[in-house]
Structure 1
Amino acid sequence: MRPSRVTTALGSALLAACEGRQSALAPAGDGARETLDATWILFGGGAAIFVAVMALALYAVAVPPERFRGGRGWVVGGGLLFPIAALTLLQLYEFGLTRRLAATPEPALVIEVTGAMWWWDVRYRIPGQEPVRSANEIVLPAGRPVEIRLDSADVIHSFWIPSLAGKLDMIPGRVNRLSLTPETPGVYRGQCAEYCGAQHALMAFAVVVEPPDRFDAWLAGQRRPAAEPADPLLERGRDAFFAFGCQSCHTVRGTPADGRLGPDLSKVGGRRSLGAGSLPNGAGPLAGWIAGAQHLKPESRMPSFDVMDADTLHALAAWLESLT
């Protein structure tokens, strides 16, 4: 029986209870599926050993002594040979799994992800094309192998998308590589899995898996510069962006804003959340984030612009929402 069928047979009840966009029990990629298969095999093997040992212990207690005299054979066989054989087989299986996960085909896409306190800097690199920078959201093509190169700008973080792959640490000064092939289109949730400071819990990201043609169209759209404001309100918002110095930290393609300290805002209006999963996206949350970032996410590097009047704040939020 193939491992994937074993997974289905043993885990259907648990999967029904634990499905979701952030669940290691609902795999949507090759790495997550292989890892889940290994989990069920190890769990099943451990459970079988536990049942056998408990049955033997119960038999030894229940039967008369003359029918169960024990002896050196039980100690050598049950306490030495059996554990060595069982653990060796499981270890060989795990070695094979590791080799399969590492032996990935040439990636069609390389994505560089840098963890920072407390957000994600994302760069898409395709040979022969200019890289595309984004933040706090990753879009992947279904059925195409992807290599994600992980590093950190400050402390140790850990990159984990339970439904697509296992977790991997992000270490300052080192690049770790995670290879995966997403299989099922959908929206999945990732999370920093290593405590990294006060706002560790608010360091999440969305992973959107699209059919290949939709991914190509999305990537082409990401390269387009920001459009000129369509009305006076949006024009006032754009002017406020520069008047308050937002360009010092943020980039908006097609404008003079080219800051690198904070997230790229070129397409911020099209993202699903703000502040690395802290808030849903929209004009209202954008205004709240601008005015009260330190209240919503204390100790982040985004200052609160609570000196901005209501009309200017509304215009700035509307302009940012229009960047899609």
Structure 2
Amino acid sequence: MSGPLNTLTWVLICMVVVVSLIVVVALWLALFGPRSWRRKLGGEKMVLIAGFAFPAVVLTALLVYGLATTRQLSEAPRPGEMRIRVTGEMWWWRVAYLDDQGREMLQDANEVHIPVGRPVVFELDSSDVIHSFWVPRLGGKMDMIPGRRNILRLQADEAGAFGGQCAEYCGGPHALMGLVVVAHEPAEFEAWRARVAQPAAPTALPAGVAVFDRSGCGACHTIRGATFNGTAGPDLTHVGSRRTLGAGILPNNQGTMAGWISNTQSIKPGNRMPAYPVLTGQELRDVSAYLESLK
């Protein structure tokens, strides 16, 4: 769905078809054509033209065109462009929406929201090892290298949810490091952005807040509007509105939330969130109901 990548793909496909037809025609003439043509095809001049000059010209032209086209996807952000910083972590995605000066406006995790029909600049970082950001249906794949920020432009041409994946082996539960890119119509996107920019609404579930607090969850997680401001793990301000849990591996509902908190290591072995088997069934219901309400 990324315009430049689609164009480049079709140019390459067309060139493959044209070259293949030329080769097939030349082969047919060499085997079954008139003797005069066979002599021409086997001559020194034709070998130089068809065997050296033609491939050199075609491949050079494709290389120059390909580099010029893909260069647009990795240029530095321009004024007015929408910017999203995605940071690969073991084994989840930290997502930050930026203003024109690169300042963070709000943070999310494992889910990226973009408007339809508008190029979006993804600033790709890694906080630990090499990861790779890949959303196949949007045509984009770029490595995330510690200490280096890579730029990738993507555009969704229709609304929908597009699955992504870390495409560079990063140890442990690498295969379970997924994400979702959700493309909205422009008006719907602005409504979503206005909603998630707000802090969490006051809750009517104090029992869940109490479990979250005494279990130490706020040491790793932020909930804007509450007293929890940890930064080691995902921001949970609007976790109840996300489509998945565990970086794309579970549907998001109260039951899966309770199971994730109770024994995250059995669901995604090696991830950095500890299991909480000490919580009672009632405590799990309370805290998962609280988190599920954060929309």
TM-score by length of 1: 0.83
Aligned residues: percent identity?
Answer: 45
In the alignment, structure 1 segments of 5+ residues that lack a partner are 1-26
Equivalent residue for 2:256, pick from 285, 290, 295:
285
C-alpha distance 68-211 of structure 1, shift in aligned 2 (>3 A): closer
Q: Does 1:85 align with 2:40?
A: no
How far apart are residue 148 of structure 1 and its match?
1.6
Q: Distance in 2 between matches of 1:221 and 1:202?
A: 29
Other-structure match for 2:31: 61
Q: Distance in 2 between matches of 1:35 and 1:139?
A: 21
Other-structure match for 2:239: 268
When structure 1 is superposed on structure 2, of 235-244 and 35-44 the one drifting more is 35-44
How far apart are residue 188 of structure 1 and its match?
1.6
Other-structure match for 2:152: 178
When structure 1 is superposed on structure 2, of 264-273 and 139-148 the one drifting more is 139-148
What's the CA shift string for 1:47-95, capped at 9, x where partnerless?
3222322332343234586762322122211111111121122223223
C-alpha distance 99-225 of structure 1, shift in aligned 2 (>3 A): closer
Q: Does 1:252 align with 2:226?
A: no
What's the CA shift string for 1:185-223, capped at 9, x where partnerless?
222222212121232221111111223332222222213
Q: Does 1:72 align with 2:51?
A: no
Q: Distance in 2 between matches of 1:50 and 1:67?
A: 19
Q: Distance in 2 between matches of 1:131 and 1:67?
A: 69
> RMSD of the TM alignment (CA)?
2.2
Other-structure match for 2:179: 205
Other-structure match for 2:283: 312
In the alignment, structure 2 segments of 5+ residues that lack a partner are none
SS of the counterpart of 1:163? helix
Q: Does 1:39 align with 2:9?
A: yes
Other-structure match for 2:109: 135
Q: Distance in 1 between matches of 2:163 and 2:36?
A: 60
Question: 1:81-230 alignment to 2 at 5 Å?
Answer: 81-101=53-73, 106-127=79-100, 131-230=105-204
How many residues align? The count is 291
Contact 1:105/1:145 (<8 A) preserved: no
Q: Give 1:183's aligned amino acid.
A: D
SS of the counterpart of 1:131? strand
Q: Distance in 2 between matches of 1:141 and 1:175?
A: 23
When structure 1 is superposed on structure 2, of 221-230 and 304-313 the one drifting more is 221-230
How far apart are residue 244 of structure 1 and its match?
0.8
C-alpha distance 101-178 of structure 1, shift in aligned 2 (>3 A): closer
SS of the counterpart of 2:165? strand
C-alpha distance 130-175 of structure 1, shift in aligned 2 (>3 A): closer
SS of the counterpart of 2:13? helix
Q: Give 1:269's aligned amino acid.
A: G
C-alpha distance 251-143 of structure 1, shift in aligned 2 (>3 A): same
SS of the counterpart of 2:234? coil
C-alpha distance 106-179 of structure 1, shift in aligned 2 (>3 A): farther
Contact 2:133/2:143 (<8 A) preserved: yes
Q: Give 2:186's aligned amino acid.
A: P
SS of the counterpart of 2:237? coil
Q: Does 1:50 align with 2:23?
A: no
What's the CA shift string for 1:166-185, capped at 9, x where partnerless?
21111001111223343322
Q: Give 1:73's aligned amino acid.
A: K
How far apart are residue 165 of structure 1 and its match?
4.2
Contact 2:244/2:252 (<8 A) preserved: yes
Other-structure match for 1:4: none
How far apart are residue 293 of structure 1 and its match?
0.8
